[in-house]
Each structure stands twice: as C-alpha cells, then as structure tokens.
C-alpha cells in the first residue's frame, strides 16, 4: 500500500510539475527513422534537444513508466537494462535489473551500466536542470519526453520512441489502433445530446486534485459525450469541496488507488450527500495506470469511462 501511495503521488506530481517546468514539449513532427542510414542521425527530441541516434541500440535505460510501457509494447522489454522505480511497480520488467530513483538518479551507476540510449520523462528536468549532463558529456544519448497534455501528443510520443528504434511500422500500428478505437467512441459520443457532467478525481481528500481544459483526460471525457464539471478551469488543479458542491456533477469518477475504497470514501464525505452523483449512486472507479500514464493504454481507460457514464450507450 505504501508503494502504491508513493507511486500515485509521483504520478500526480508528474502531471502537475510537467505543466510548470520549462521543459515543454516541442511541437515538432515525429523524427525519421535512423534505419537505412550509414551515419548516426541527429534529430530533435520532444523537449526540443538535438540528440544523436546511435546506429545500434541494444541497451536501454527507461526513466518513466509511460515510456517503459511503450518500449514493452514495441517488443523491447529484453533491451531494457535498467528503469525507474515507478516502472518497477508495473510488474512488466524483470526484478533483477537495477531500478533507479528518477528524482535522484545515481549517475555513477548509470554510467557504469554503459547504456546505448536513455529515455527520460520531462519532469526530471525541473527548472531546466539536466540531471544527465554528465552522461551526455560521455557520448551517451538521452532523449527527454515531457508529459503529454493531449491525445495527439501521445501519438507523437509513441511514434518518436518507435522511430528512434527504427520501428516506424510498429509505432504507426499502435497509434492507428488507438485512433480506430477512439473514433468508435467519438462517433457515439458526438450523438449524445443530453451530456452528463463528470467530476474526475485523481487525488483524494483532503488534497483533492482534478483537471480542467488542456489535459488529455478532459479530451477523453468529451470523446465519450460527457462534459468536465471543472471544464471552465485549465490544466491540473487543486480542488475544494466548495467547487464540487457548486458544480454538482451527474457522475463522479476516481482513479485513486492508494486508499482502501475510494468510491465508498467519496460517497461518505460530509456535505456531499446532496450531490446528484451521490444521490443517484453514480460514483465509479477506473483503472489508475490506464488513466494516469499518457500512452497507448488510455484506450482502456476510455472504455471504462464510457461504460461508467453511459452504460446504455457503450
């Protein structure tokens, strides 16, 4: 339970910090593949840094659970020689590889592992500091991928990782499958005229967190034909009881997984008994990882959200 709590707090921190740091995502097209070239290719990573793609990438360090899941989906599980401690909790990598604290990476340990390539999430560059400067000075390539705020950016990130590895077709296959699935939900969502309002909670009381516009989860609510009860606000936000009581949502969704029963905890909050969502017993849990980590697995959360809000439509 303690590890789960630490993990979700880190995820929330990732979401929020990524919007505050100077390491913003560059709106650049996906890179070309380094395959079929005779010399290393210089490209721009999603953080806007020029990086050199090695001809051979056999040893990868993944510093971010979203990246780790993409690498595994691309079939590169066996090439990951180390990862961050949050990726360890996913249970998809061998237990006997080194796991590294992403907020305080052991640079000497990383250099000793002699990786060919390091994928890192943007939150590691808090206030513009590059924790891997000593690593890049030695000629090891590090690509930074800031947290995606839109579904389109998620597509770009997947294809960037795939292209770095010379796996354009696999990357495109993943994003095409996502787009096809999302289009199915959008078609139904667009036809819904009486849209339900939803409060989506990512941090439980007393430190409630949610989101407004400019977040991929907000897009997902709109795709299924719902409206965000806090849609008049921007980005990741701290939430007060007063704000939720004023919004009076039709449905409440939570992905909090670090308390015993988040649905019952919401239903039992003092003062919330008058909310439409509580009175109509419309409080639901959706998978934490699928809805927290911006990668191909968001379609899993999208389906859970759709079936929770409109069980008669999906």
Q: What is the pLDDT of residues 165-203, one digit of tens each?
A: 999 999 999 999 999 999 999 999 999 999 999 999 999
Instruction: Give the span between the Cα atoms of 308 and 311, in whole angstroms.
Output: 6
Start-to-end Cα distance in the chain: 33
Q: Kindly state the tokens that stand for 236.
A: 């990741």
For residue 4, pLDDT over 50 is answered with: no
By DSSP bridging, strand 50-53 and strand 41-44 are antiparallel
Instruction: Give the span between the Cα atoms of 169 and 144, in whole angstroms.
Output: 22
Predicted confidence band of residue 22 (pLDDT cuts 50, 70, 90) = very low
Mean pLDDT of 237-244: 97
What is the tens place of the pLDDT at every residue in 35-88? 445 567 899 999 999 999 999 999 999 999 999 999 999 999 999 999 999 999
The answer for residues whose C-beta is within 8 angstroms of residue 87's C-beta and 6 or more apart is: 62, 64, 65, 68, 93, 99
The helix (H) or strand (E) run that includes residue 90 is: none
pLDDT at 26: 55
- Global pTM reads 0.87
Predicted confidence band of residue 19 (pLDDT cuts 50, 70, 90) = very low
Residue-by-residue DSSP string for 175-214: HHHHHHHHHHHHHHHHH--SPPEEEEESB-TTS-EEE-BS
For residue 254, pLDDT over 90 is answered with: yes
What is the tens place of the pLDDT at every residue in 206-227? 999 999 999 999 999 999 999 9
């Amino acid at each position: 339970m303690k590890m789960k709590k630490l993990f979700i707090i880190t995820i929330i921190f990732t979401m929020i910090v990524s919007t505050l740091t100077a390491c913003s995502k560059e709106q650049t097209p996906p890179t070309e593949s380094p395959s079929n070239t005779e010399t290393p290719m210089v490209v721009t990573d999603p953080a806007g840094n020029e990086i050199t793609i090695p001809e051979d990438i056999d040893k990868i360090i993944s510093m971010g659970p979203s990246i780790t899941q993409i690498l595994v989906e691309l079939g590169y599980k066996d090439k990951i020689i180390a990862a961050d401690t949050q990726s360890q909790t996913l249970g998809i990598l061998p237990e006997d590889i080194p796991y590294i604290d992403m907020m305080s990476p052991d640079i000497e340990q990383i250099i000793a592992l002699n990786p060919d390539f390091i994928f890192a999430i943007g939150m590691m560059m808090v206030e513009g500091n590059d924790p891997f400067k000593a690593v890049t000075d030695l000629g090891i390539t590090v690509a930074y991928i800031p947290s995606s705020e839109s579904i389109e950016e998620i597509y770009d990130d997947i294809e960037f990782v795939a292209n770095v590895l010379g796996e354009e077709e696999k990357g495109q296959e993943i994003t095409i499958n996502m787009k096809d699935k999302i289009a199915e939900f959008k078609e139904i969502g667009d036809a819904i005229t009486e849209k339900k309002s939803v409060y989506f909670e990512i941090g439980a009381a007393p430190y409630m967190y949610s989101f407004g516009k400019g977040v991929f989860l907000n897009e997902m609510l709109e795709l299924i034909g719902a409206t965000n009860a806090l849609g008049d606000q921007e980005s990741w936000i701290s939430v007060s009881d007063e704000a939720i009581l004023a919004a009076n949502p039709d449905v409440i969704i939570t992905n909090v997984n670090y308390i015993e029963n988040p649905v019952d905890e919401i239903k039992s909050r003092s003062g919330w008994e008058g909310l439409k969502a509580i009175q109509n017993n419309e409080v639901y849990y959706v998978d934490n990882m699928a809805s927290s980590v911006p990668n191909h697995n968001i379609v899993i959360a999208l389906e859970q959200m759709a079936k929770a809000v409109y069980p008669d439509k999906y």
